[in-house]
Amino acid sequence: MDGEEGDAVRKSMELLVALGNVFGAEKMVPVESAHISGVSYKNLGEAGTEWLEEQAAMGAKCRIRATLNPAGMDMEKWEEMGVPREFAVGQRRVLKAFTDMGVEPTCTCTPYLIGHVPRRGTQVAWAESNAVCFVNSVLGARTNRESGPTTLASAVTGVAAYYGYRLTENRRPEKIIKVKAELHSRLDYSTLGYVTGKLMKSAVPYFRNMGNPDMESMKTLGAACATSGGITLWHGEGVTPEAEWASQYLEGIETIIVEQKNLDEAKESLMSDPDNPTYCIGCPHCSLKEIEETANLVRGKDLDGKLWVFTSRGVYEQAEKAGLIKVIEDAGGRVYRDTCMVVAPLHEMGWHGVGTNSMKGGHYSVAHGFPTKLATVDELVEEASR
C-alpha cells in the first residue's frame, strides 16, 4: 500500500483495506483465483469503461488466475444478434482493458464448467450471483459476494480481506428449508432457490429433502437464491460437501416448510403474457449437457429464430465439435457465446418479451420492463416452434 509496487497495486490495496475495515477484518488472506463481474458495456457505460482503461494504463496486472463474467454481446456474432455498432465499440474497449490486465476473456458466469474449479477449502475472490453460490456451496471453496472492483483488486494484489464467509464460523446454517414439493425440472430447482432467497434474506439455508439435483439444477438454484435474497452459501443435506459438517448446528434453528403452492406463487409473481417473446435458455450459461438436451429437443422443429441459447465460448467450442450447434441452428435456433439475456442490450435489439426457464432471468426480465413467461425447456421449445 506504500506504492512500492506501483499505483495500481497501491490503489487496489487501499480499496481492499477500506472494505476490510468496514467489515472488521483482522487481516488479509491470499486468494488463489478471481472471477470478475461488471463486464457488459450496458452496465459499465463510458464512466466504467474509462475507469477500467485507467487501471490498465496504470499498469494493473493480475498476479493470480482471473476469469471474466459475460459481456453484453457475442464478441463475434454481435451483428447477427442485433447489437448496435456503438455498443460493440464500447464492449471491445472493455474486453481490451481486461485482457491488457491479464484477465482471461472467458466471458461466462459458469467458469467452473470450463476448467476454473477451485478446490474445497481454498480462498478465492469471486463475483456474480450464481458463480459465488456455486463456488461456496457446491465446490466448498470460500468467497464473499464480491463486486467487480474488489475482484479486480484481489486479482491485482493476490489477497482479500478476511471476513464473512471466509471464516468457518460464518458458514454455519441459519435456517432449515424443508422441501415438501416435487422437484422435477431445473425450473423447479430455480423456483425453490427464488422462494428461499425471499424467505432467508442472505442467511445460510440448509435444505432438507431437496432430492438429488444435478449440477445444472444446483447452478440455477444458486443463481435464483442469490438474486432474490443475496444468498452466498447454501447447504443441501446429502448433496453439498459441507452439509455433514453443517448438520451439527441444526438444533434449535428455525425450520421453514416450502410447499408446492409457494413455488407456484413465486412463478406466478413474475409471469405476464408476452406476445411473441424471444425464448431463452442459458441463465446461468448452459453446460454441454444442456446444449445436448436442447439439440435433441429441437431436431426436426422450425424455431424461426425464436429460441436463443446462451453459453460460454469454452462450452460452445465443445458443442460445435460434437455437431450440436449445427443441429440447433439447422432447426432455426440461435446459439450465442460471451453474453446472456440479462446483460445484452435487449431493448436496443428490439426485444419485446421474454420466455425463460430461469427465475433469475425472469426476475431481471421483469425488472427491465419485459412481459415474461416462465416454463421448462421442453415447453419453451414447443412454444417457439408453434
Site residues for ligand F3S per CB under 6 A: 69-70, 109, 130, 223, 283-285, 310, 340, 342-343, 360-361
Nearer to ligand F3S, 109 or 113 (CB): 109
- Nearest distance from C-beta of residue 30 to ligand F3S, angstroms: 27
Nearer to ligand F3S, 81 or 343 (CB): 343
Nearer to ligand F3S, 313 or 360 (CB): 360
- Nearest distance from C-beta of residue 109 to ligand F3S, angstroms: 3
- Nearest distance from C-beta of residue 282 to ligand F3S, angstroms: 6
- Nearest distance from C-beta of residue 77 to ligand F3S, angstroms: 17
Nearer to ligand F3S, 55 or 69 (CB): 69
Burial of 255 (0-12, 13-18, 19+ CB in 10 A): exposed
Amino acid identity, position 230: G
Cα(34)–Cα(159) distance, integer angstroms? 10
Nearer to ligand F3S, 97 or 309 (CB): 309
Nearer to ligand F3S, 158 or 222 (CB): 222
Contacts (Cβ under 8 Å, ≥6 apart) of 248: none
- Nearest distance from C-beta of residue 361 to ligand F3S, angstroms: 6
Cα(267)–Cα(253) distance, integer angstroms? 28
Nearer to ligand F3S, 189 or 310 (CB): 310
Judge whether 36 and 101 are in contact, CB under 8 Å. Answer: no
Task: Assign 346 to helix, strand or coil.
Answer: coil
Q: How many residues does the chain have?
A: 386
- Nearest distance from C-beta of residue 262 to ligand F3S, angstroms: 22
DSSP codes, 94-109: HHHHHHHTT-B----S
Amino acid identity, position 105: P
Judge whether 312 and 108 are in contact, CB under 8 Å. Answer: yes
Nearer to ligand F3S, 139 or 342 (CB): 342
DSSP codes, 205-248: EEEES-----HHHHHHHHHHHHHHH-----EETTTSTTHHHHGG
Nearer to ligand F3S, 12 or 191 (CB): 191
Contacts (Cβ under 8 Å, ≥6 apart) of 89: none
- Nearest distance from C-beta of residue 126 to ligand F3S, angstroms: 13
- First vs last C-alpha separation in the chain: 61
Grid cell 456455486 in the structure block, residue: 134
**C-alpha cell belonging to residue 346:** 435487449
Grid cell 448446528 in the structure block, residue: 249
- Nearest distance from C-beta of residue 6 to ligand F3S, angstroms: 32
- Nearest distance from C-beta of residue 363 to ligand F3S, angstroms: 9
Can you count the helices (H) and strands (E) in the chain? 15, 14
